[in-house]
Amino acid sequence: MMSLRQLLPLPISALLFTACVSTAPSPIPPAPLTRAAEAPIDGAEYRRHLEDAYTEIVAREGKPLAGSQVDSQAAASIPIPEHRTINGAVSLFSTKMRESIQTSLHRSAKYRTMIDRELAGQQLPRGLAWLPVIESAYLPTLTSKAGAHGVWQFMPETAREYGLRVDWWVDERADPERSTKAAAAYLRDLYRQFGDWSLALAAYNCGPGRVRQALVRTGATTFWELLDLSALPKETRGYVPTFYATLLIAGDPETYGFTLLSPVQHDAQRVEVAGPVSLQYLAEVTGVGNDLLRELNPELKRGMLPPGRRSVRIPAVAALALSERATTVKDEDDNLAVCSFRLRRGDTIAKLAKKLGTEPETILAMNNLEAGDRLAGGRSIYLPVRARELGVLLRQADDVYTVVKGDTLYSIAKRHGLSAADLRELNDLRGGSTLKPGQKLRVAPGRSMTAGGG
């Protein structure tokens, strides 16, 4: 997990997160549901503070610092080592980073119940629920410069390895519940490899391969030996101490000048819906605020459900209304910014991209295709354009054809799905007319497209 992490203190007994707790649906309220207010935080600025903290911690590795008393009760799930860098991290959290840490501590209340449940299911220490403090400040859409993303800051390759979907439509690294399941499985595997939480956490940060190589190269047996030898990246040498500092503060937040909120109990539940369909349209159907739906479903990168069946989180009061239309809403969404298109003979991704004014890579990505894939006529693919606009764009591109050497009336007509008679009629050509290179001909092939079909 080669990401730039973030730090917040929280009480170990509260190490959990609250996701979506299913409850029985009730009638839709007359007024749209809206998102609750939350203290703002600048993720990029927060990350910069963390990088500065790591640097400062490493710079003080050889200097004695005022110690902090370990709260064994708060840290009971993971024993906290005694090391000067941990004391230094506690000092930084309690002073320079106090404001941003406090905001993140409060945000953790949204996820504590859910994270506690997932960690218990994997038989992992509850203390790991505070790891997002130094990962993301519990911001589901935070992305590091290295490309790590989500509450648990997964890199794409590791995310896919642990069953998360990461593609043009969806990035489940931003799904707090699914990414927590994956993170718990990954942390469990790392602990099995190293048999020590300090080494496992270092591996979570910089990768298990790098930690193994450092152990072999130096002959060290503990993370703290690797730290003293500067055998791991600077970020990792600061990362592990900051996690333990978080546990210290979490065990007794008031002593360090922090407060915690009670876990928030959400009433959202999942409803399986056939896509593609936009969250904006689902908001219209259910009376739920669009901003709230986006907040509940941060993994939907384009603000829409992908093709096929997929669950969407929605407040319980609106779940029944959506369930009743779950299979039909995709056909009703007139503003959906994608549509399916049936390929004709001679169509290529490059040609279609040029006609639509987009990049070939976009069309490839949204259809999970590679540049060299062969596309047969009759196959349906998705294009990044509204159905009502697609025909106009294609006609504008296809209405005029420039004759090249070797063309015949028959070959041009066939290429554009016309008969020779149709082509003559469109261009007022008499029988026996000779075509000349550079001549412009009107062509109007038929096209097939739908807003939500497969």
**Range(s) for CATH 1.10.530.10 in the chain?**
12-256
Q: What percent of the chain has pLDDT over 90?
A: 57
Q: Report strand pairing: 400-402 vs 440-442.
A: antiparallel
The CATH code belonging to domain 339-450 is 3.10.350.10
At 335 the pLDDT is 82
Segment 426-454 shows an average pLDDT of 69
pLDDT digits (tens, 9 = 90+) for 285-317: 999 999 999 999 999 999 999 999 999 999 999
Q: Where are the alpha helices (DSSP H) in 72-131?
A: 84-94, 98-107, 112-121
Residues 6+ apart with CB under 8 A from 382: 276, 307, 338, 339, 340, 341, 363, 366, 367
Q: Can you say how many angstroms the Cα of residue 71 is from the centroid of all Cα atoms in its chain?
A: 36
Number of H helices, E strands in the chain: 19, 7
Q: Which residue has the tokens 């629920």?
A: 129
At 161 the pLDDT is 98
At 24 the pLDDT is 35
CA distance 190 to 150: 20
Lowest mean pLDDT among 14-28, 198-212, 220-234, 323-337: 14-28
Assign 105 a pLDDT band (cuts: 50, 70, 90).
confident
CA distance 112 to 19: 8
Q: Answer whether residue 2 shows pLDDT above 70.
A: no
For residue 167 the two structure tokens come to 């593609």
Helix H or strand E encompassing 184: helix 176-194
**Range(s) for CATH 3.10.350.10 in the chain?**
339-450
Q: Phi-psi region for residue 47, left (φ > 0), alpha (ψ -120 to 50) or beta?
A: alpha
pTM: 0.75
Query: DSSP character for 251?
Result: H
Chosen CATH of 12-256 out of 1.20.1580.10, 1.10.530.10, 1.10.760.10, 3.40.50.9100: 1.10.530.10
Cross-strand pairs, 277: 305
Mean pLDDT of the chain: 84
Q: Can you say how many angstroms the Cα of residue 255 is from the centroid of all Cα atoms in its chain?
A: 36
